[in-house]
């Protein structure tokens, strides 16, 4: 189903003189969007005005979209949106159709280093990526360096998250014991492979034997079936009663209390997400019992500048091309109302293993 929405919010661009020649913008884009927050039925494929193109922007024709749990937080209203209709999505990959026109940008040393060109494949990470065309500041755009747009859309956010959360949030070192909830999910499998690459021992939890097997194939040393086993007791046994160095927790509300029982003295809890709901307010005194540290980062704030985009983007694609990290794609969905809805249904019902993508065009 497609709905036409007023063009007042987003000025339409008819033509742009890009660095390598004129590009005739279409007047509209197709988008997976929401007119209000709510249940799964608020997701609609809509026809929206072509996005506003700022002088520092690249315009990218989208080929693949990566589906993330954060899409469900925005759709439900857990994370605020400042306008409607709002295109959903925060991760996609495609091909550059126009380059920035701002002379300052063209002289920026990081802009020059990225060697952006019309026709080059790039990843985009910004609010509202689930559209046929995205206009995005060049500093939030990453050349894919030969990696396909499908693999790129399936991996840029999660690999950038693993790199930054296992360095800035807590620096994983050889010999550390790392604990990962949702170990067979999209992020969990990337966390597992990257922690092994850094020399850590990996323990994680999941719900089924099939998921546990996939986590083991991706390097997990021990996988606990949290529905059948006592997680705290298993971790005590596996760590000789000491506990783990760091917990990566994407579940949130349901596992927060357990995290403090499995962390060792001076251990770090990296609160990653809210799959079961947000963690309720608590007193900082809670951290005093074993001198725990708590970090609640967002990958967007770790990869915020042109320099960080250059550095982290480069690392992401090197890890893929050098074969250090393998991207597990669970399923590809169509770019339709039903496809957008089904992807979020599948992600939130806990049945998926690895990453979900939506195919827009090729």
Ligand X SMILES: NC(=O)c1ccc[n+]([C@@H]2O[C@H](COP(=O)([O-])OP(=O)(O)OC[C@H]3O[C@@H](n4cnc5c(N)ncnc54)[C@H](OP(=O)(O)O)[C@@H]3O)[C@@H](O)[C@H]2O)c1
Longest Cα–Cα distance of the chain, Å, equals 66
Contact region with ligand X (CB under 6 A), list: 30-38, 67-75, 121-129, 320-328: 67-75
47 lies in the binding site for ligand X (CB under 6 A): no
Find the part of the chain contacting ligand X (CB under 6 A) among 54-62, 206-214, 235-243, 314-322.
206-214
Q: Rounded to whole angstroms, how far apart are CA atoms 180 and 173?
A: 15
Cβ of residue 205: shortest distance to ligand X, in angstroms? Answer: 7
Least distance CB 19 / ligand X (angstroms): 33
**Prior bond of 221 cis (ω within 30°):** no
Give, as one character, the DSSP assignment of residue 168: I
Among 89, 186, 267, 313, which residue sits at the site for ligand X (rule: CB under 6 A)? 186
The pair of three-digit structure tokens given for residue 22, joined into one six-digit string: 């004129």
Q: Does 292 bind ligand X (CB under 6 A)?
A: no
Contacts of 121 (CB under 8 A, 6+ apart): 93, 94, 95, 143, 144, 147, 148, 149, 152
Of 63 and 91, which has the nearer Cβ to ligand X? 91
Shortest distance in whole angstroms from residue 307 CB to ligand X: 19
Cβ neighbourhood burial of 127 (10 Å; 0-12, 13-18, 19+): middle
Nearest approach, Cβ of residue 96 and ligand X (Å): 25
Residue 338-357 contact track with ligand X, rule CB under 6 A, x = bound? ---------xx-x-x-----
Start-end of H helices in the chain: 69-76, 103-107, 109-114, 149-153, 156-164, 186-197, 209-217, 231-238, 256-262, 299-302, 306-321, 337-348
Residue ranges in 293-332 that form contacts with ligand X under rule CB under 6 A: 297-299
Check binding of 273 to ligand X (CB under 6 A).
yes
The dihedral region occupied by 81, where left means phi > 0, alpha psi between -120 and 50, and beta the remainder, is: beta
* Binding flags for ligand X, 77-106, as an x/- string (CB under 6 A): ------------------------------
Among 10, 57, 68, 258, binds ligand X (CB under 6 A): 68
- Nearer Cβ to ligand X (10/196): 196
When asked if residue 206 is in the footprint of ligand X (CB under 6 A), the reply is yes
Evaluate whether 100 touches 55 at the Cβ level (below 8 Å): yes
- 207 by DSSP, 3-state: which? coil
37 versus 207: smaller Cβ distance to ligand X: 207
Q: Which residues 155-184 are close enough to bind ligand X by CB under 6 A?
A: 157-158, 161, 182, 184
Q: Comparing C-alpha atoms, which of 61, 100, 284, 246 is closest to residue 162?
A: 246
185 binds ligand X (CB under 6 A): yes
Count interface residues toward ligand X (CB under 6 A). 29
Contacts with ligand X, residue ranges (CB under 6 A): 68-70, 157-158, 161, 182, 184-188, 206-207, 211, 250-251, 272-276, 297-299, 347-348, 350, 352
């Amino acid at each position: 189903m497609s709905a036409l929405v007023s063009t007042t919010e987003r000025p339409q661009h008819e033509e742009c003189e890009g660095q390598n020649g004129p590009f005739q913008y279409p007047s509209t884009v197709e988008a997976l969007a929401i007119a209000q927050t709510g249940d799964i039925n608020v997701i609609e494929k809509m026809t929206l005005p072509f996005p506003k193109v700022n002088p520092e922007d690249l315009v990218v024709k989208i080929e693949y979209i990566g589906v993330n749990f954060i899409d469900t937080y925005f759709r439900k209203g857990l994370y605020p949106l400042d306008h409607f209709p709002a295109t959903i999505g925060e991760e996609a990959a495609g091909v550059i159709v126009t380059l920035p026109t701002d002379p300052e940008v063209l002289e920026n040393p990081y802009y020059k280093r990225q060697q952006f060109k019309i026709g080059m494949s790039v990843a985009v990470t910004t609010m509202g990526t689930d559209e046929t065309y995205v206009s995005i500041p060049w500093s939030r755009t990453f050349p894919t360096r030969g990696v396909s747009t499908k693999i790129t859309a399936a991996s840029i956010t999660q690999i950038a998250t693993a790199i930054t959360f296992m360095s800035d949030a807590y620096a994983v070192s050889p010999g550390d014991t790392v604990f990962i909830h949702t170990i067979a999910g999209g992020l969990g499998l990337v966390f597992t492979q990257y922690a092994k690459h850094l020399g850590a021992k990996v323990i994680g939890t999941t719900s089924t034997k099939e998921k546990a097997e996939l986590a083991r194939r991706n390097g997990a040393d021990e996988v606990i079936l949290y529905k059948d086993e006592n997680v705290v007791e298993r971790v005590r046994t596996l760590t000789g009663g000491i506990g783990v160095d760091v917990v990566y927790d994407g579940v949130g509300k349901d596992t927060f209390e357990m995290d403090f029982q499995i962390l060792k003295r001076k251990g770090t809890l990296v609160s990653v997400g809210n799959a079961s709901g947000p963690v309720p307010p608590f007193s900082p005194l809670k951290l005093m019992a074993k001198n725990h540290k708590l970090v609640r980062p967002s990958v967007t704030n770790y990869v915020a500048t042109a320099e960080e985009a250059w550095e982290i983007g480069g690392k992401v694609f090197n890890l893929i091309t050098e074969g250090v990290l393998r991207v597990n794609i669970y399923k590809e969905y169509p770019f339709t109302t039903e496809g957008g809805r089904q992807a979020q249904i599948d992600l939130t019902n806990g049945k998926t293993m690895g990453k979900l993508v939506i195919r827009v065009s090729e």
